[in-house]
Amino acid sequence: METIGQHFEAGRTRPGGRPYDILDLITDGEMKEAAVAGFTSLDWEKLKKACRAAVEERSVLPFLGRKTLGDLCGRAMEILAQKSNIRTPKCWIPIMRTLRAGGPSILRPYMEVSDEEIRQHEVEVDRQVREAFPEYKGNAPK
C-alpha cells in the first residue's frame, strides 16, 4: 500500500513536468489560492509550511485517498495555529470536510480503499498522535 510520503513524492509534478504546489496536493485541487481574500502572502507561506510539516509528520502512514488528505488538512490547521497563531482561510474547513467524505481524486486517480482500511488507518493515526501528544483526546477507538 502506498504511504503518505510516497503519494506526495509521486504527485509532485503535473503531466508535462510542471510542479504542483503543496496546497494543490493536500487539497486535491479543491482550493484555489487566488480566490481566497484576506490571507496575506506571508500567511500563505506559513500555511504551506504547516502542510509540508503535516505530510512529513505522517509520511510513513498509509495513503487512503481523499480521507487521508482531509486528515492532513486538519493536522496542518493545528500546526498553523500552534506555531504561527494564524487561522486557516475560511474555505479550509469546508474543503477538509469534502476531502474526508472521500470520492474520486481531482488531480489524479488513486486506489479504492475499503471502509475497514479507513477505520484501521484512523485507529493507527490516533495511536501515533496519542504517543506524540499524551494530552490529546481523540475520537478513534484505542
Rounded to two decimals, the pTM is 0.71
Q: Are 135 and 71 in contact (CB under 8 A)?
A: no
Which of 34-43, 62-71, 128-137 has the highest average model confidence (pLDDT)?
Answer: 62-71
Residue 78 pLDDT exceeds 60: yes
Q: What is the overall mean pLDDT for the chain?
A: 81
- Cα–Cα distance for residue pair 15/12, rounded to 1 Å: 10
Torsion 140-24-57-115 (CA) sign: positive
pLDDT band at 48 (very low <50, low <70, confident <90, very high): very high
